[in-house]
Amino acid sequence: MSMLANRQPGAEVYYPEGPQVPEGDMQMRRRIELAVALRSWVSEHHPDAWVCCDINIYYREGDPRVVVAPDVAVAFGVNIPAVENKSTYKVWEAGAIPSFVLEIASVNTYRVDLHEKPAKFADLGVSEYWRLDPTGGDLLDTPLAGERWQMDRWEPIAVSVESPISDGVQLRGHSDVLGLDLCWAPPKLRLYHPATSTWLRDHEDEAARADAAEARADAAEARADAAEAQLAALRHRL
């Protein structure tokens, strides 16, 4: 496991932005959904947490070759001003190692996700590593899999095919780090908060919620107009 490195004197080191890995629309949609849901959730429940989305995470100061870029990562106890509006995440500035990471498989990345990323995330100090196959299992053996770092090795996290919650959920696993259930409900990976029995909302959920609120407001306005018209008609008869 790597530790937060002490700052070393010397010339300024360049830490490039990235990564530049081609991805399909399916992978991009799933990543955006998860990032929006998690960022909304941490802003409400964990103000010291930070959600990284497909950016380079550097974790050995002075050596830009030591880098990893998960599709989604969550760190707690972060120095927020040090990471806001930054195009990279430097562990020694943020003050916290991401404890949760998730990779979304694509034709270009699934082999790396399986065979190279586990060692990198162990070196970084990640507690949980999850993998999502948005194709439903064409690339990986299962649409959803998770591992927890215990006793110096990755141990599988139970992912059940049975679930007491509905909404099309086919697989569900629990993240101890987040305190959330990860639920494969094709085509999405949805996040469920068992303590409050609520779903985390992504951008599509928020848009639907806004549309519903607008529809309710329009209906209320129509009812008010109708009531006013009825009152006007009654006054006219009187």
Q: What gap in Å lies between CA 53 and CA 34, rounded to an integer?
A: 9
What is the reported pLDDT for 199? 95
In a domain, 166, yes or no: yes
Closest-CA residue to 176 (of 122, 235, 128): 128
β-strand 72-75 against 50-53: which pairing, if any?
A: antiparallel
What is the reported pLDDT for 204? 66
Read off the tokens for 188: 């999405």
For residue 139, the domain's CATH number is 3.90.1570
DSSP class of residue 7 equals P
In a domain, 226, yes or no: no
In a domain, 230, yes or no: no
Read off the tokens for 21: 């890995």
What is the reported pLDDT for 222? 57
For 8-43, the pLDDT digits (tens) are: 555 789 999 987 777 889 999 999 999 999 999 999
What is the reported pLDDT for 80? 97
In a domain, 178, yes or no: yes
Residues belonging to the chain: 238
Number of compact structural domains in the chain: 1
Question: What b/e readout covers 50-89, taking b as 16+ CB neighbours within 10 angstroms?
Answer: bbbbbbbbbbbbbeeebbbbbbbbbbbebeeeebeeeebb
In a domain, 12, yes or no: no
Q: What gap in Å lies between CA 99 and CA 215, rounded to an integer?
A: 41
Residues of the chain below pLDDT 70:
1-10, 162-166, 203-227, 238
In a domain, 77, yes or no: yes
In a domain, 87, yes or no: yes
pTM of the model: 0.81
Query: How many other CB atoms sit within 10 Å of the CB of residue 164?
Result: 8
Read off the tokens for 149: 């770092």
Query: How many other CB atoms sit within 10 Å of the CB of residue 6?
Result: 8
What is the reported pLDDT for 219? 47
DSSP 94-145: HT----EEEEE--TTTHHHHHHTHHHHHHHHT-SEEEEE-TTSSSSSSSSEE
β-strand 100-104 against 128-132: which pairing, if any?
A: parallel
In a domain, 20, yes or no: no
Range of the domain at 86: 25-201
What is the reported pLDDT for 206? 56
Closest-CA residue to 83 (of 115, 45, 39): 39
What is the reported pLDDT for 149? 98
Q: What gap in Å lies between CA 89 and CA 67, rounded to an integer?
A: 10
